[in-house]
Structure 1
Amino acid sequence: MKIKKYTIGILTASLIATSSVSCSDSFESINTDPNETPMGMLNPYGVFEAMFYGYVNRSLAFTRQYNNELVQFTACTGSNGNDIHRYSINNSNVSTIWTYYARYAANADHMVQLGITKNEPAAQAVGLTLKVLIMSNLTDLFGDVPYREAFQHDQDNWTPAFDSQKDVYEQMFADLEAANNLYAKSPVFAKPSIDLMYGGNMTLWQKFNNSLYLRLLMRVSGRTEMGADTKIAEIVSNSSKYPIISSESESATVKYTGIDPYFNNFRPSNTTETQVKANKIAKTLLNLMLLTGRDSEEDPRLTTMAIQRAGDWKGVQGGCAISDARLEDDGASYPNYAVLVRDAAPAWILDYSEVQFILAEAALKGYITGGESTARTHYENAVTASCRKWGQLTQYSSEKYQITDERIADLLAGKLAGWDENSDHDILIANQKFISLFWIGFEAYHELRRTGYPVITIGNGCSYNNFEYPQRLYYPTNTVGSNSTNVQIALDRMGGENNLHTSVWWSYKAINGTFTAVRQQK
């Protein structure tokens, strides 16, 4: 009888470290990686510990290096700046992202299988939730990916078929349903001390699972064939079967202790202030949080997220020409190092504020009952929760101040975020949700491509992608070379070439044929 094997490519003695991997690793090489462990030789909680914290820390690194630059939260305009914000994305970049997410997904899948074999339903449920979390990022970045045939080590399948993104989503929804059913039986998480997010509380993991379900349903809500509106309504109306995150304290947040080995990836020992200052705050973010002139307003979160220079706020143009970089960079604001770079800084995965934004959009679109008044309530809950999250971090800032209830009320009554002051509530919800996703994985990049907001200004240095906004990441060359037939089938189905222009299936551009962006004035 053939022993079923799974790659455990990231298990190390340290929870923070991951194995050294080649830039050419992919699903195909994961299926043939010599570092394989026979089924039954590991405890599922050992897999959880290394996989979960490895994934979270890698996502933090990707947030700063890729997401923030692509969505114009920041732009690396310093003398040693990278060109991600100019859409210069090379094979090493995409291969690294593909490699790590595929590896973590393989480990999550292994955790599921061990949970079944070892009769650990809690581990099985958590593994399913995390597998979907990781794979959703992979498909939302690249488009069609292997899902059904991924990680089939026992079937000698070295060239897995790429499922359509629709099929991937259907399989992810099935996995989330299965996990929800397991959580409902109140299984016991055997090692709660290693869970720095929920301490092994299966009720909270179930709420995270179903809130992730809402996130992904809203992601594909533009595709009517998915019936996302009906499923969202079912989840919201049946809280006993589908409990969701319902308070700020229930947010999916990794609470690092700052004690070895539970460090945040962004800690002073490996992230210098000079590195953080190189990524200046971009005008796109600053313009959403600041009004100048006669009707001046400032979002109270801004001073926690970023630092003024010379007593003033200045943003840089994302994608600016290299010849303009020095002028753009001079005097520009940058992320708040003291707040974001700490041994015990939290890592955010899915906030209560995001759930409330989803419910606001669902109510406004008629997916759930209540109409505009209910949409407004959820929207204001969302903005308030986001402000309070950042308010808890003001204690670490060099600027001593508080985000008071009065300041939050002023924000909700003003032109920046006021419901009555903004006539297009779809755009208002999208823009404020965008702000709330600062420093949370690739979520802002996903949402920007889904909604088209905020409207991005394409800088004069974005010739790398012909001055067009990147709609996806392209498949790494090793994957193309080793699994060319299935890659080509996927590209044909997606209706484009293996480049940054081809749209993912659920995106605004794929559905509407256009993507609104404006060119920087020369």
Structure 2
Amino acid sequence: MNTLKKIIFIGAIVGMSFSCTSDFEEINTNPNRTTVGKIKTSGMFEPLLYNGANAWMNYSWYWNNELIQFTAFTGGTTRQEHRYFISDGNWQNVWDLYTRYANNALHMQDLSIEQDEKSLEAIAMTLKVLYMSNLTDMFGDVPYSEAFTARKLNGTTKPKFDSQKEVYEHMFADLMAANEIYASKPIFQKPALDGMYKGSMEQWQKFNNSLYLRLLNRVSGRSEMNVGAKMSEILNNPAKFPIFTSNSDNATVIFSGNDPYRSQFSDSNEGSFTSSGRKLTEQLIKMTVLTDNNDNQVYEDPRLSIFGKKNPNLSVNPNNIWKGTIAGVSEQDQSAADRGSSWLNAAVFVRSDAPGTFMDYAEVQFILAEAALKGTIPGGESAAKTYYENAVEASVEKWAEMGQYSQIPVSIQSTDITALLTSDLASWDAASNKEELIGNQKYLSLFFIGMEAYHEYRRTGYPELTIGNGANFNDYILPTRFAYPTTTMATNNENAQEALQRMGGENNMKTPVWWSKQAIEEGK
């Protein structure tokens, strides 16, 4: 991790591949700056992994939770993402983060080839796809085939924007290539560097192929992507394409808690993390709490007391109940909506050793449940039910491990999981719309996993969200994508304009991305 300062420089050159930068020559000739070629491949790995996991957590807290109504910042008007007040500066920050990490992953891949580090070559390809998938899922068409080539012979500072279909095809090819390298069982030379899998190529291979399933599922609404055949190839060849089979395979980065291996929220406190701003929403509460005919809360999802905690102030919460604020509430109604609202569970999340998760076993099982239900893979409703119940169980068990950190420790037993699966919140047999049930429970399982719940909502339309009366900044439309930043439009305008024309919309937050339910229904 002593290479963290070096990696800051590496990230700075991302602008070369996506736009012209004023300090292009200075970056490449200043003898006081470390050049990429002088960094050992292993020196790039830790920042990509640990800093990437922190970025994942931060984006969950800052963006995903607000957009998808897990939380709403109601502590004033300094943060209004839940009202869709999102500016060009925000678009730029999101664009820069994903491109910076993807660029660094590509550098790591290039160096690993030069230095014959096959294990790091495969990992670099997996991580590049991880970051680039989020870039395209946030913005739509993006550079991929020509991205990050400015430093190379015949490279360009104005890369073409590949269609999202093409981006996904490139990502599939990269994941397949990485899988072949993992299968050769290369040696990870410094296992202590790997805070996720301790250098296990078998587990990295499982992550790679599970990520492939995630991306196949993302484009499953597009028949031309032949998702069924690709999923079946994976599932029918477990030796060749191993995937997550339990929570022990989860792509979770473990922080020691000692500097610099510290969680994103190490230096936060309950006030800055939740109580003075971000509150749980009524959307989350209604999906995790059951009430009787008299509006008494009679049952709650066992994960809820780990996700959050009830407002402890009895003057505003005299009945000691779970209450959510209203996402997108207007400024004039904000105070009333916020009164007595529940908080995020800071004791669980605000720890120096709080882990960061890129993907988990529960998500894989939800993917297979949906695929079986829709006939994308064999098994039908019977298999779908098994996958679904495996998914819910895995999610609860994952969060159960975090219950010990709650101010009042939360213990979850197998009987609690059974109770959830037979409750009206999660019962397969009681659900009239199985597809919606899968979507709703997957939404809950994706709590604090990057931007995944936001991506999934745009793909499926689940859960059914209510847009608040104050969400007028995007004309009461939950952002369908983020717009290309002004810098990108200025420095690579021709290619960006071509991408917008191909996507069939303007450079705003109302144009649907190609794989989304909206785009498919509109025939775009």
Measure the CA separation in 2 of the matches of 1:92 and 1:33: 25
Q: Residues 14 and 434 of structure 1: is their aligned pair in 2 closer, same or farther, counting only changes over 3 Å?
A: farther
User: Does the 8 Å CA contact 2:385/2:428 hold for their aligned counterparts?
Assistant: yes
Q: Which of 85, 89, 92 matches 1:88?
A: 85
Q: Residues 21 and 38 of structure 1: is their aligned pair in 2 closer, same or farther, counting only changes over 3 Å?
A: closer
Q: What do you get for the CA RMSD once the two structures are aligned?
A: 2.2
Deviation per residue, 1:127-150 (Å, 9 max, x gap): 000000000000000000000000
User: Does the 8 Å CA contact 1:128/1:176 hold for their aligned counterparts?
Assistant: yes
Indicate whether 1:479 and 2:488 are aligned.
yes
Q: Residues 458 and 435 of structure 1: is their aligned pair in 2 closer, same or farther, counting only changes over 3 Å?
A: same
SS for the counterpart of 1:253 is strand
More displaced 10-residue stretch of structure 1: 202-211 or 226-235: 226-235
Deviation per residue, 1:454-488 (Å, 9 max, x gap): 01111111111011121000000000001110000
What amino acid does structure 2 have at the position aligned with 1:177? M
Spell out the pairing of 1:60-459 with structure 2 (5 A cutoff).
60-79=57-76, 81-152=78-149, 153-154=151-152, 155-267=154-266, 269-277=267-275, 278-294=277-293, 296-309=298-311, 310=317, 311-459=320-468
Q: Residues 33 and 488 of structure 1: is their aligned pair in 2 closer, same or farther, counting only changes over 3 Å?
A: farther
What amino acid does structure 2 have at the position aligned with 1:77? T
What amino acid does structure 2 have at the position aligned with 1:109? L
Match of residue 3 from structure 1: none
- 1:400 is displaced (CA, Å) by 2.9
Q: Residues 296 and 14 of structure 1: is their aligned pair in 2 closer, same or farther, counting only changes over 3 Å?
A: farther
Measure the CA separation in 2 of the matches of 1:321 and 1:386: 34
Measure the CA separation in 2 of the matches of 1:258 and 1:109: 28
Q: Residues 34 and 357 of structure 1: is their aligned pair in 2 closer, same or farther, counting only changes over 3 Å?
A: farther
More displaced 10-residue stretch of structure 1: 471-480 or 369-378: 369-378
- 1:401 is displaced (CA, Å) by 3.2
Measure the CA separation in 2 of the matches of 1:32 and 1:127: 25
Unaligned runs of 5+ in 2: 29-33, 312-316
- 1:27 is displaced (CA, Å) by 2.1
- 1:271 is displaced (CA, Å) by 4.7
User: Does the 8 Å CA contact 2:41/2:112 hold for their aligned counterparts?
Assistant: yes
Q: Residues 382 and 235 of structure 1: is their aligned pair in 2 closer, same or farther, counting only changes over 3 Å?
A: same
Measure the CA separation in 1 of the matches of 2:14 and 2:72: 25
Match of residue 514 from structure 2: 505
Measure the CA separation in 2 of the matches of 1:34 and 1:313: 56
Match of residue 31 from structure 2: none
Measure the CA separation in 2 of the matches of 1:375 and 1:457: 28
Q: Residues 264 and 111 of structure 1: is their aligned pair in 2 closer, same or farther, counting only changes over 3 Å?
A: same
Match of residue 12 from structure 1: 4
Spell out the pairing of 1:461-480 with structure 2 (5 A cutoff).
461-480=470-489
SS for the counterpart of 2:466 is strand
User: Does the 8 Å CA contact 2:161/2:495 hold for their aligned counterparts?
Assistant: yes
Deviation per residue, 1:377-410 (Å, 9 max, x gap): 1100100011111111111111233111111100
SS for the counterpart of 1:456 is coil
Query: TM-score, with normalisation over the residues of structure 2?
Result: 0.92
Measure the CA separation in 1 of the matches of 2:102 and 2:384: 35
More displaced 10-residue stretch of structure 1: 400-409 or 500-509: 400-409
User: Does the 8 Å CA contact 1:75/1:281 hold for their aligned counterparts?
Assistant: yes
Percent identity, aligned pairs only, is 48
Unaligned runs of 5+ in 1: 1-9, 515-522
Match of residue 4 from structure 1: none
User: Does the 8 Å CA contact 1:264/1:342 hold for their aligned counterparts?
Assistant: yes
Match of residue 314 from structure 2: none
User: Does the 8 Å CA contact 1:207/1:244 hold for their aligned counterparts?
Assistant: yes
What amino acid does structure 2 have at the position aligned with 1:449? R
User: Does the 8 Å CA contact 1:217/1:232 hold for their aligned counterparts?
Assistant: yes
User: Does the 8 Å CA contact 1:180/1:209 hold for their aligned counterparts?
Assistant: yes
Measure the CA separation in 1 of the matches of 2:453 and 2:499: 25
User: Does the 8 Å CA contact 1:282/1:317 hold for their aligned counterparts?
Assistant: yes
What amino acid does structure 2 have at the position aligned with 1:302? L
- 1:62 is displaced (CA, Å) by 1.5
Q: Residues 271 and 495 of structure 1: is their aligned pair in 2 closer, same or farther, counting only changes over 3 Å?
A: farther
